[in-house]
């Protein structure tokens, strides 16, 4: 059976779900399971925050990959697929590195370095997959596809969170490495089997050729990419959406870093219990994201994005105000599940909104710049915690999170997406 993305909507949705699994696996390990495990081993707040911040930095360097993918590719294998395969193979090798270096759990520098490289290759894979999505997805499918992509990331995140929590306790990094090898190995195989368009090669030595569309969209120089990028990135809606999402992800990362410290160190719950709660909540939220994708295609992205950010902000403020309720298991479970649902809804909207901003001619570079910029906010969230934890109580930091999310809503609401799309359409050569 021939698997061609442009010829099957179910195949497109399933494939992007699978590719986003590869991004969820590192996040579940590095952002949730390992911080909770390290908190249980009495790492300081500053040390955990530094580990998370440095490990996530590669997501802010995604812009370095975008121009390379727009300028260079093995077009007979597909416009983006060769880069997806390369990144998947690198992730597979990182799984092997974790398995071969179990003593890294006792060496903060080595552990941070391993996680930094893991995130670097995951970020590269993300750029390639997002570029592929904008190339093969019709505009009217992007919202629903983002729901499947978000679900894939959630499944990887939730699975890695709960499995790595138990593997770390029982087998250390050897068990974690085995999980990564199995997961990345299967996803690599799928990236090899699925082609973008009819007529392209399955493997370098099989028959096939570059399609006329891929040849037409190929940019001849890095200078041309830079000029086209500046033309589209500096439009008002682009700048406003970048600013709003930067603040949103900074607030979200601040929450993610603070929560396990409060639950495990202050309230005394086991890291495995916290990871299990988070995993189940994230999984259920991911399924709900499929419905969000359908509705934003029909009703508009900006409204739903703002609503989910507002719900997230209200939750953060309530957690800060109701500090006396933190000792209640029912309260904690409610917060964990609500936070997962509100974030997932906002996540689906933010990916779809930034795709709508993109110009196909430089889509990989443009989208990677957006994601690099907003993920810098994700990396600065843990750093902000290390600065605030000596000045404010934990309850007050939750109030800060709520304030940041309200600021994100204000910036988002000023962005006029339809006007932006009309201006990009006037540039020619297609819109993502």
CB 79 within 8 A of CB 161: no
CA 12 – CA 135 distance, rounded (Å): 11
Full-model pTM? 0.72
Rounded to 5°, the CA angle 301-305-307 comes to 120
Q: Among residues of the chain, what percentage have pLDDT more than 70?
A: 93
Structure confidence at residue 86 as a pLDDT band (50, 70, 90)? very high
Taking residues 218-247, what's their average pLDDT? 82
Instruction: Give the C-alpha separation, 117 to 120, whole Å.
Output: 5
Domain membership of residue 243 as a residue range: 5-427
Give the model confidence (pLDDT) of 197-206 as tens digits.
888 888 888 8
Is 83 part of a structural domain of the chain?
Answer: yes
Predicted pLDDT of residue 218: 66
Tokens of 193: 């089997």
Mean pLDDT confidence for 18-35 = 87
Written as six digits, the tokens of 8 are 């099957």
pLDDT at 360 over 70: yes
pLDDT digits (tens, 9 = 90+) for 109-168: 898 899 999 999 998 898 888 888 878 887 777 777 877 887 888 788 878 887 888 888
Residue 247 is assigned to a structural domain of this protein:
yes
Mean pLDDT of 42-52: 80
| CATH number, residue 262 | 1.20.1250.20
Averaged pLDDT for residues 314-322: 92
User: Of 364 and 165, which is predicted with more confidence?
Assistant: 165
Of the candidates 140, 199, 162, 157, the residue with the CA atom closest to the CA atom of residue 356: 140
In a domain, 432, yes or no: no
pLDDT above 70 for 429: no
Which pLDDT belongs to residue 277?
79
pLDDT at 211 over 60: yes
Q: Per-residue pLDDT for 323 more than 70? A: yes
pLDDT of residue 145: 80
**pLDDT of amino acid 109:** 86
Mean pLDDT across the chain, nearest whole number? 83
Q: Residue 30 above 60 pLDDT?
A: yes
In a domain, 253, yes or no: yes
Q: How far apart, in Å, are the Cα atoms of 395 and each of 58, 247, 323, 379, 392?
A: 30, 20, 6, 21, 8
More confident residue, 88 or 296: 88
**SS3 label, residue 25:** helix
pLDDT at 60 over 60: yes
Number of domains in the chain: 1
In a domain, 156, yes or no: yes
Contact 296/417 with Cβ under 8 angstroms? no
Could you tell me if residue 190 is inside a domain?
Answer: yes
Res 217: pLDDT: 66
Residue 130 included in any domain: yes
Mean pLDDT of 308-329: 90
pLDDT in the model for residue 244? 92
Using CA atoms, how far residue 14 sits from 37, 149, 192, in Å, is 33, 9, 15
- Residue 108 pLDDT grade (very low, low, confident, very high; cuts 50, 70, 90): confident
Q: Confidence class of residue 216 from pLDDT cuts 50, 70 and 90?
A: low
Residues 285, 404, 337, CA angle at the centre, nearest 5°?
20
d(CA 136, CA 8): 10
DSSP notation for 145-207: HHHHHHHHHHHHHHHHHHHHHHHHHHTHHHHHHHHHHHHHHHHHHHHHH-BSSTT--SSTTSS
209 DSSP 8-state letter: -
């Amino acid at each position: 059976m021939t698997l061609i993305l442009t010829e099957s909507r179910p195949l497109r949705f399933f494939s992007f779900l699978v590719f986003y699994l590869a991004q969820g696996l590192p996040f579940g390990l590095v952002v949730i399971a390992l911080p909770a495990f390290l908190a249980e081993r009495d790492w300081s707040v500053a040390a955990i925050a530094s580990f998370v911040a440095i490990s996530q930095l590669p997501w802010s360097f995604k812009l370095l990959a975008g121009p390379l993918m727009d300028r260079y590719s093995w077009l007979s294998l597909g416009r983006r697929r060769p880069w997806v395969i390369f990144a998947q193979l690198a992730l597979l090798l990182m799984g092997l590195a974790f398995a071969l270096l179990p003593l890294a759990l006792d060496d903060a520098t080595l552990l941070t370095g391993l996680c930094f490289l893991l995130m670097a290759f995951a970020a590269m894979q993300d750029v390639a997959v997002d570029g592929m999505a904008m190339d093969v997805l019709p505009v009217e499918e992007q919202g629903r596809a983002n729901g499947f992509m978000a679900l894939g990331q959630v499944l990887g995140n939730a699975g890695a969170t709960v499995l790595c929590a138990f593997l770390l306790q029982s087998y250390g990094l050897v068990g974690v490495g085995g999980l990564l090898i199995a997961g990345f190995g299967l996803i690599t195989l799928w990236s090899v089997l699925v082609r973008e368009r009819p007529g392209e090669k399955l493997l370098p030595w099989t028959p096939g050729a570059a399609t006329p569309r891929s040849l037409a969209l190929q940019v001849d120089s890095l200078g041309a990419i830079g000029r086209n990028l500046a033309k589209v990135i500096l439009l008002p809606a682009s700048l406003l959406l970048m600013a709003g999402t930067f603040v949103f992800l900074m607030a979200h990362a601040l929450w993610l870093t603070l929560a396990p410290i409060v639950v495990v160190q202050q309230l005394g719950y086991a890291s495995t219990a916290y990871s299990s709660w988070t995993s189940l909540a994230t999984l259920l939220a991911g399924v709900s994201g499929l419905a969000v994708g359908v509705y934003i295609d029909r009703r508009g992205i900006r409204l739903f994005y703002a609503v989910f950010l507002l719900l997230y902000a209200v939750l953060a403020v309530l957690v800060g105000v109701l500090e006396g309720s933190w000792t209640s298991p029912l309260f904690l479970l409610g917060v964990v599940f609500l936070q997962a649902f509100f974030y997932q809804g906002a996540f689906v909207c933010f990916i779809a909104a930034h795709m709508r901003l993109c110009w196909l001619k430089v889509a990989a570079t443009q989208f990677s710049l957006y994601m690099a910029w907003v993920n810098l906010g994700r990396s600065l969230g843990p750093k902000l915690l290390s600065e605030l934890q000596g000045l404010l109580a934990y309850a007050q930091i939750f109030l800060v999170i709520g304030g940041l999310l309200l600021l994100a809503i204000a910036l988002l609401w000023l962005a006029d997406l339809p006007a932006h799309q009309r201006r990009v359409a006037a540039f020619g050569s297609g819109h993502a």
